[in-house]
Amino acid sequence: MKIRAIEREDLLSAEYNRCICFKLPVDFDRRRTEIAAGTDSLQGRYGAFTDDGVMMSYLIDNPFSVYFDGHAVSCGGIGSVTTLPEWRASGCMRALLTHVLRRGREEGEVFSMLGPFSYGFYRKFGYEAAYAAWEYTVPIAQFAPFRHTGWVRRLRGSDEQDLSRLVSLYARFARRYNLALVRDEDFFRRRFLNRPDEVFLNQHTFFYLLGEGEEAGAYLMYRFVPEEKGSTMEVTDLAFDGAKGLRMLMGYLARMSADYRQVRLRLPDEVRLQKLLAVPPELRLTPTRMARVVNVPEALRLAKKPSSLRAVIEAADDVLPENSGRWLVEGDHVSRTEEEADLVLDVRALAPMLLGSLPYAAALYREDVRVLRNEAALAALFPAKVLYQHDHF
């Protein structure tokens, strides 16, 4: 078996894998034309091959950055994970994913993330459920008490007039939340502003920036979704600058009662719409991401903690043994140690504990977490934190 980066001549084999494993139709004639034109990026694409060159498994490791306790950290987004049926249970995916995770660690990745088709499958590789999104469905009339009296601007596909305001607003919003993606001007151009305005309009998708004076306070992108009981405004992206920005956003929603029956949106769990509206809205918790720590000492170093904190963490990682061992955490310094451990855990528990979705008190119920001493320090190292991610990668 050979593990290597995908070359251009491998791309059609990757499409066969995706078609077979995901049961998705592929326009192979179009893909042949695109591959011949060289329009595909090969970044992050890896495969496991037999010795005679047959692709057994395939995946993409999408590089991006997320906020973690105020730091922008490198992360890998695993996608298009496929193994042909005739090669399953052969160990090729374990070999491929181990190679990709180790390479990511060498290139500076701190975490790896994915959207699972099976939690049990990815737990075998050190991943654990780490983030679930709060999704609200609200009759739009519920926002009637809120008012936005400032300016409203529709952002068009080729309009960069307010780009710097947009980027600054998003950064103020996102750096408060673990796992929120780091976005720069190129991101907004690529994702939102490089498409003709007519494309958005024909897809019934709208992008609005809200503000007062010189400052932007909120933005939202949404699309029209026809449903049996009436039209729905589905918010596909948003940001707001604190409580004032949230009120701007809700004031904009109040204006839309003639167009939509209800609005569906995801919000950070520190924002509780059920406490802000007259009638509690429908609320659904949707698991969306699994994560694993790729570099244990670096993740421990970056975690927000008291400068006086001292604790010994013993981690076990059966995929990346370079993460295993005892780590002495002294403020922002982390090193290997032979001291007795305060906490013994599996790497599967570490990602949600550090990110804050599995705080110390909740982690005690897991069988792969064992506390030996120094409970106050451990509680300070693993508090509950607010996570938010409204992206695909």
Summarize the confidence of residues 177-197 as an average pLDDT: 86
% of residues, the chain, pLDDT over 70: 98
| Helix, strand, coil % in the chain, rounded to nearest 5 | 30, 35, 35
pLDDT band at residue 192 under the 50/70/90 scheme: confident
**pLDDT over 80 at 386, yes or no:** yes
Q: How far apart are CA 121 and CA 269, in angstroms?
A: 28
Q: DSSP letters of 247-289?
A: HHHHHHHHHTTTT-SEEEEEE-TT--GGGTSSSPPEEEEEEEE
Tell me the whole-structure pTM to 2 decimals.
Answer: 0.93
**pLDDT over 70 at 157, yes or no:** no
Question: Containing H/E element for 343?
Answer: strand 343-346
Give the pLDDT of residue 203.
79
b/e map 243-275, b = 16+ CB within 10 Å? eebbbbbbbbbbeeeeebebbbbbbbbeeebee
The dotted CATH code for 2-114 is 3.40.630.30
Residues 6 or more apart whose CB falls under 8 angstroms from that of 390 comprise 133, 180, 236, 237, 238, 266
- In this chain, the answer to whether the domains covering 134-287 and 295-381 adopt an identical fold is no
Residue 173 has φ and ψ, to the nearest 5°, of: -75, -50
pLDDT band at residue 391 under the 50/70/90 scheme: confident
Beta strands at 2-5 and 45-49: parallel, antiparallel or unpaired: antiparallel
Q: 28-37 vs 11-22: helix axis angle to the nearest 10?
A: 150
What are the domain boundaries of the chain?
A: 2-114, 134-287, 295-381
Q: DSSP letters of 158-180?
A: T--TTHHHHHHHHHHHHTTSBTP
pLDDT band at residue 353 under the 50/70/90 scheme: very high
Q: How far apart are CA 53 and CA 12, in angstroms?
A: 13
Give the pLDDT of residue 205.
87
pLDDT band at residue 14 under the 50/70/90 scheme: very high
pLDDT band at residue 158 under the 50/70/90 scheme: low
**pLDDT over 80 at 228, yes or no:** no
CATH superfamily of 134-287: Gcn5-related N-acetyltransferase (GNAT) (3.40.630.30)
Give the pLDDT of residue 204.
86
pLDDT, tens digit (0-9, with 9 covering 90-100), for 266-299: 999 899 999 999 999 999 988 889 999 999 999 9
Give the pLDDT of residue 201.
76
pLDDT, tens digit (0-9, with 9 covering 90-100), for 24-71: 888 999 999 999 999 899 999 999 999 999 999 999 999 999 999 999
**pLDDT over 80 at 200, yes or no:** no
The CA-atom distances, in angstroms, between 288 and each of 15, 110, 116, 119 are 25, 19, 8, 11
Architecture of the domain defined by 295-381: 2-Layer Sandwich (3.30)
User: Chain-wide mean pLDDT for the chain?
Assistant: 93
